[in-house]
Amino acid sequence: MSEKTMPAAIVAAVHPGELHTAGASGRLNWLRAGVLGANDGIVSTAALVVGVAGATTSSVAILTAGTAGLVAGAVSMALGEYVSVSTQRDSERSLLATERRELEQYPEEEFEELTALYRAKGLTESTARLVAQELTANDAFAAHAEAELHIDPEALTSPWQAAAASAVSFTAGALLPLLAMLLPPAGTRVPVTVVAVVLALAATGAVSARLGSAGVGRAVARLVVGGALAMAVTFGIGQLVGTATG
């Protein structure tokens, strides 16, 4: 019996500490989304405040621009996540409604379809039929939702939760470069912010790589180089604008 067809309790006992259940996988996705949201907040806000600092030393101007960027970014991220997850949820609900209707109208055909799905996974005809019989007797709808649609009807993602998580993670990331720019003396603002942002990006890159089981070095390098380049470009543009308008 392969790991894919083993009961969850057995898999958990054989591989303790690994994520196998749908709920655990969902939590992992939420954590990954949070890390990416925080990274977006760090990069976009850092580029904005460093660009403004290149044009002026006014704390009020930097605070105004940084706060506006933070709020706008958080709202945009939340709205985008809400729309995306709402669309996905509507699609999943439609598929589930269709599946429930088919089970009511064509129970025998649906049973044969479920059997065929388990045959396609490598089970023998007799085993696949036995699995389909037991799953159908327990909860036919849930069995078909998982096998055909790969959807857990009891674990649909909430658009409001997704929007809130996106806004919070973006805000948390954006606060770091904003505070790093405002708290130090004017002469050290940009270097302190650059160091803080590089360290933060290295940390988020390492975490995202671990979550995705990817190479840490390459992930960190991409984020650090990209963030540093964004800050360098906006700082240069800010200095040009400041010089031209000064």
Scored b (16 or more CB within 10 A) or e, 53-83 reads: bbbbeeeeebeebbeebbeebbeebbeebbe
Q: What is residue 57's predicted lDDT score, i.e. its pLDDT?
A: 87
Q: What is residue 246's predicted lDDT score, i.e. its pLDDT?
A: 57
- What is the number of alpha carbons within 13 Å of residue 150 lying toward its C-beta? 1
Q: What is residue 102's predicted lDDT score, i.e. its pLDDT?
A: 93
**Considering the entire predicted model, what is its pTM?**
0.74
Pick 221 or 4 by higher pLDDT: 221
Q: What is residue 4's predicted lDDT score, i.e. its pLDDT?
A: 42
Asked whether the predicted pLDDT for residue 13 surpasses 50, the reply is: no
Report residue 73's pLDDT band, with 50, 70 and 90 as the boundaries.
very high
Q: What is the pLDDT of residues 217-236, one digit of tens each?
A: 888 898 899 889 989 999 88
Report residue 139's pLDDT band, with 50, 70 and 90 as the boundaries.
very high
Q: What angle do CA 129, 133, 136 make, to 5 degrees?
A: 135
